[in-house]
Amino acid sequence: MGPNSYYRNNHRWWVILVVSWCVLTVSLGGCTTLRKKFTRKKKEKTSQAGLFVPVLDPIDYPPPTISVSERYQYHYSLWKIWYRDLLENLERRESDKRQRYLLGQAIASLEEMKKWLNAEQQAKFNRCIDDWQEVLAMYDHPAAMRSDVTIRRKINASAKKIRDQFNPKAASHILISQP
């Protein structure tokens, strides 16, 4: 027996003693806390569940008052975002599906802008929308049969016309009166 054997034997007894003490403690104490945790209790009925008070006099709120110029400006800014996204998409040569989607959203914003213009200006604005719809029609042809340069040129020309003639600051005098 060497000097390490005493340590090993003594160490084993300590391990056995600690494990025995843990087993004894758990067996005597039981698992009542665990049992309590996992037993299902019946739900208590609350007294307020039966008390339902209907609203007899609903409150009528006035319709939101958003001016024509604010609506026009909102759709104009949406159109600018769709236009910018479309140009970025064209530069990166991403999918046709995404480009069609962006064109459709830009046209929808333009249609909403048209609602707030007077009758004379709507005719002029329709030409701009027609330019965008022509570009959308170009996507019916295969990618090899259409020119990205032509699409970009048509979009930029129409966008310049819209920015110059129909921006919210310039269009303040051509908007319809409050509906």
Q: Looking at the predicted structure, is the pLDDT value of residue 106 above 80?
A: yes
Contacts of 98 (CB under 8 A, 6+ apart): 89
pLDDT for res 108: 92
CA distance 111 to 95: 25
Does the pTM of the predicted model rise above 0.85?
no
Query: Where is pLDDT greater, at 96 or 6?
Result: 96
pLDDT for res 15: 85
The model's pLDDT over 27-86, given as tens digits with 9 standing for 90+, comes to: 766 666 666 767 777 777 665 556 677 777 878 888 878 777 788 888 899 999 999 998
Q: Looking at the predicted structure, is the pLDDT value of residue 142 above 80?
A: yes
Query: Where is pLDDT greater, at 68 or 173?
Result: 68
pLDDT for res 8: 60
pLDDT for res 9: 66
76: exposed, middle or buried (Cβ count in 10 Å: 0-12, 13-18, 19+):
buried
How many alpha carbons lie under 13 Å from residue 160 in its C-beta half-sphere? 6
**Helix residue spans in 46-146 (DSSP H):** 68-92, 96-115, 119-138
